[in-house]
Copies of this chain bind each other. A is one copy, B any other.
């Protein structure tokens, strides 16, 4: 016996039209394997006259939210409009009406995830948003279901395709940040205003969603420390290459002494680490579970069909469960407290521009020592096309961030240093 599922769809952009195309393509198969007939009955769009990337013959296209929200005959609501205002109204109304909801809305889940999940649990309807993190990579369901045996001890992710593309170009082709960004824009991997991506904010939002999945609880985005990639330059990549390291913009969630470190920043990792081989616009989530050990999932983190693939899987997931109580619970309990930024300890690579004169390195090393920062290695070289400037690269053992910032400030004030010292974190045990 077949079961007809009537969908109401908000948004018919790239992901929405990709979804329609997948539903068409898989219709016969889904009917045969699970006896389910998916029908997109209505779609709400901003501009009803716009041409779409899919057939819309059998779909009632409207611009009125209520055409879907007040239609009792619909079985499932799909929210693909993005943003947090209208989308929030849509999701809340649907959940309050006891309609299952599938969303791909990262910003919404990052901002209101726990509130919406609580609503869904109260209404006893599923609310899935696999596509909100990592596009087609099934990371949320894997955390929720396949790794249910595990406490996730740490999770490290490359979850922004734009920045990973830029960093790959800088690493492999020796491009400057600016040139790499230019290429990313030309290929459609970077927005006209790339701030959101290159400053790490996109990764920060996704990390917050991942954190809620591995820990339960609520983690305000603003409490996740975040640095982007705009300050990286060719010298950093040369340093990395010399030390068999790779520079990646990582989103990290690391359990430590009952607390959680949540941070997004450029990170030096070993070339042998699986994340180092994640190239171009690809995304990856690397995690360490107390039973399963190390697991990595990688794939395309964006794009019409990869994202729609995840949305479709959420829809089928809901449809194949005969009862909404058979939906695996997302954790809603206890928020773990976030380790304060100044208390985070990592190894660091530091870089200072100096006057090439005897004694400067000694002055820098003394300041580091005074701040209880232990030096692992120092090397210096002349700045190209300069008569009197040198660059000093320093690797220091695990140190407190607060001490490091203090030390760099002092070094900056030395008479024979130039400009501001910079640092990149090194992670060897993720």
Contacts and interface: CB of A to CB of B under 8 A. Distances in A.
A266 interface: no
A282 to B, nearest CB: 8
Nearest to A295: B299
A46 interface: no
Contact of A308 (B145, B149, B299, B329): B149
A305 B293 contact: yes
A148 B318 CA distance: 13
Interface string A47-91: 000000000000000000000000000000000000000000000
Contact of A313 (B26, B33, B34, B146): B146
Contact of A22 (B276, B291, B303): B291
A331 B292 CA distance: 27
Contacts of A26: 148-149
A contact patch SS: mixed
A305 B277 contact: no
A137 interface: yes
Contact of A326 (B18, B142, B278, B322): B322
A302 B425 CA distance: 33
A326 B331 contact: no
A22 to B, nearest CB: 5
Question: What band does the interface of chain A fall in when counting residues whose beta carbon is under 8 Å from B?
Answer: 35 or more
Interface string A264-297: 0000000010101111001000000111111111
A261 interface: no
B296 A292 contact: no
A323 B320 contact: no
Contacts of A371: none
A362 interface: no
Contact of A296 (B22, B145, B298, B306): B298
A130 interface: yes
Contacts of A295: 136-137, 297-300
Contact of A293 (B147, B306, B321): B306
A317 B145 contact: yes
Nearest to A276: B277
Contact of A299 (B278, B292, B309, B313): B292
Given A146-B142, A298-B274, A309 B321 contact: no
Contacts of A309: 147, 149-150, 289, 291-292
A294 B299 contact: yes
Contacts of A299: 292-296
A333 interface: yes
Nearest to A299: B295
Contact of A291 (B145, B282, B305): B305
13 contacts: A32-B333, A33-B329, A33-B331, A136-B295, A145-B313, A146-B310, A290-B305, A291-B306, A292-B305, A292-B309, A296-B298, A321-B321, A322-B323
**What 5 pairs between A and B have smallest CB-CB spacing?**
A138-B146, A277-B277, A136-B292, A295-B299, A149-B312
